[in-house]
């Protein structure tokens, strides 16, 4: 699989040379904090621990490795590589192990219930963080499904897992499931994150019902129905990204999260569709990456009610080609406020103005170059000045 991805990445790099991007510098003297930033990728993504990251970095893409760019400017950054289609729980456990330099422990109770091995890769001696404590906090950045991953990690750091504490033999419990580490997190930022799920999941069924559908709509089916899971290794069907991205399970997951009054929460929703004065949302596919244009078109037209009773009306139609803008603002059960900079409020999702771009725009784009260096430096500067 890694060789196949590497070949694909090489081809993309060949036909899409990196853009000449002007330098942007951060004003270090305005920073009150300078904690490490942990970037968690989304569905189908990859981090620094993959063989092809240097060739084709998820964070920065055609504009060059954003981690190297920020590190060179005194902003310490790391980007774990979590399972591309795993559940938010599994991915949170994997991120924790990489950050702390320990073996991945999915938990005795979780692994038994979901029918997969309890332990994963061993990162002993390879901690991505030099130090992590209440004095040396971290800032979490999550793109797309990385947003749910980081909030799951925060929940475990804060409160651990009572189910794991009951099921695990004495002396075997991972520190992650102990809880009591909420003060190790300074801020979390969701980037086009489907906190409340996405209508791309039911739109998959809409596309499947068509006798003929364009290739870019078939890609939605491949992504949501194939890449995202279920994972064909005998595990429970709910232990995958596709399940956590479906609206009812996604909202149920948010109800297991608690939001700390001592953590800064930010979110950046994206949108590349247009809504007219009559409330009609349309999609100009020429503005989208090809792989998102099909989904955007179908999501613009979709309305329906989930089995759990969530009404997806016209307010769900604006989207970035994979995530509904309304879902990327904040979990529905969390407090939120519109935010455009300045002093943020802890314990509340400070929601930035909608970013004009499709789902990969904040990564730098796949085929459509997007200069995101200034965006991230401004975002980090703002967080560090709180």
Using one digit for the tens of pLDDT, what is the confidence trace for 250-265? 999 999 999 999 999 9
pLDDT-derived band at 364, boundaries 50, 70, 90: very high
CA–CA gap between residue 269 and residue 329 (Å, rounded):
6
User: Once rounded to an integer, what is the mean pLDDT over residues 308-334?
Assistant: 97
Q: Which of 204, 252, 208, 211 is nearest to 228 (CA)?
A: 204
Q: Which residues pair with 319 in a beta bridge?
A: 324
CA–CA gap between residue 302 and residue 314 (Å, rounded):
8
pLDDT-derived band at 366, boundaries 50, 70, 90: confident
Would you say residue 220 has pLDDT above 80?
no
What is the average pLDDT score of the chain? 90
Cα–Cα separations (whole angstroms), residue 63 to 28, 169, 194, 367: 23, 48, 25, 11
Would you say residue 232 has pLDDT above 70?
yes
Residues 6+ apart with CB under 8 A from 213: 207, 294
Question: Is the distance from CB of 143 to CB of 44 less than 8 angstroms?
Answer: no
User: Percent of the chain beyond pLDDT 70?
Assistant: 90
Q: Locate the DSSP E strands across 70-215.
A: 77-78, 103-105, 119-122, 138-143, 185-191
CA–CA gap between residue 47 and residue 298 (Å, rounded):
30
CA–CA gap between residue 93 and residue 154 (Å, rounded):
11
CA–CA gap between residue 220 and residue 227 (Å, rounded):
10
Burial 61-91 (b: 16+ CB within 10 A, else e): bbbbbbbebbeebebbbbbbbbbbbbbbbbb
Q: Is it true that domain 2-194+243-274+335-384 has CATH number 3.40.50.1820?
A: yes
pLDDT of residue 230: 78
- Rounded to 5 degrees, what are φ and ψ at 156? -70, -40
Would you say residue 120 has pLDDT above 50?
yes
pLDDT of residue 291: 85
Cis, bond preceding 230 (omega within 30 deg of 0): yes
pLDDT-derived band at 357, boundaries 50, 70, 90: very high
CA dihedral 109, 114, 116, 120 (to 10 degrees): -60
Q: First-to-last CA distance in the chain?
A: 43
pLDDT of residue 12: 46
User: How many CB atoms lie under 10 A from the CB of residue 173?
Assistant: 18
138-166 pLDDT, tens digit per residue, is 999 999 999 999 999 999 999 999 999 99
Radius of gyration from C-alpha coordinates of the chain = 20
């Amino acid at each position: 699989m890694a060789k196949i991805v590497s070949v694909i990445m090489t081809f993309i790099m060949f036909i899409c040379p990196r853009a000449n991007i002007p330098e942007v510098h951060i004003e270090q003297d305005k920073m009150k904090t300078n904690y490490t930033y942990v970037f968690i990728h989304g569905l189908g993504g990859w981090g620094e621990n993959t063989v092809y990251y240097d060739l084709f970095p998820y964070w920065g893409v055609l504009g060059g490795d954003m981690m190297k760019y920020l590190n060179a400017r005194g902003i310490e950054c790391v980007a774990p590589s979590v399972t591309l289609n795993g559940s938010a729980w599994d991915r949170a456990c994997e991120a924790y192990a990489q950050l702390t330099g320990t073996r991945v422990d999915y938990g005795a109770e979780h692994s038994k219930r979901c029918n997969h091995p309890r332990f994963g890769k061993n990162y002993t001696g390879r901690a991505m963080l030099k130090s992590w404590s209440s004095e040396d906090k971290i800032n979490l950045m999550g793109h797309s499904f990385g947003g749910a991953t980081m909030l799951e990690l925060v929940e475990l750091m804060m409160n651990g897992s009572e189910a794991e504490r009951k099921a695990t033999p004495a002396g075997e419990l991972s520190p992650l499931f102990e809880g009591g580490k909420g003060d190790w997190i300074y801020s979390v930022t969701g980037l086009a994150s489907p906190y409340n799920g996405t209508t791309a999941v039911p739109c998959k069924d809409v596309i499947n019902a068509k006798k003929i559908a364009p290739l870019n709509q078939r890609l939605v089916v491949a992504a949501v129905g194939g890449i995202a899971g279920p994972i064909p290794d005998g595990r429970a069907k709910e232990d995958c990204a596709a399940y956590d991205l479906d609206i009812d399970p996604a909202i149920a997951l948010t109800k297991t999260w608690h939001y700390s009054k001592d953590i800064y929460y930010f979110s950046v929703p994206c949108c590349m569709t247009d809504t007219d004065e009559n409330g009609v949302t349309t999609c100009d596919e020429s503005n989208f990456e090809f792989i998102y244009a099909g989904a955007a078109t179908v999501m613009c037209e979709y309305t329906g009610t989930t089995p759990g009773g969530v009404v997806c009306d016209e307010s769900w139609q604006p989207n970035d080609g994979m995530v509904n803008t309304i879902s990327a603002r904040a979990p529905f059960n969390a407090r939120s406020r519109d935010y455009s900079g300045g002093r943020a409020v802890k314990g509340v999702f400070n929601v930035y103005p909608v970013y004009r771009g499709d789902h990969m725009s904040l990564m730098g784009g796949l085929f459509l170059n997007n200069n995101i260096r200034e965006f991230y430096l401004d975002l980090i500067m703002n967080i560090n000045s709180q």
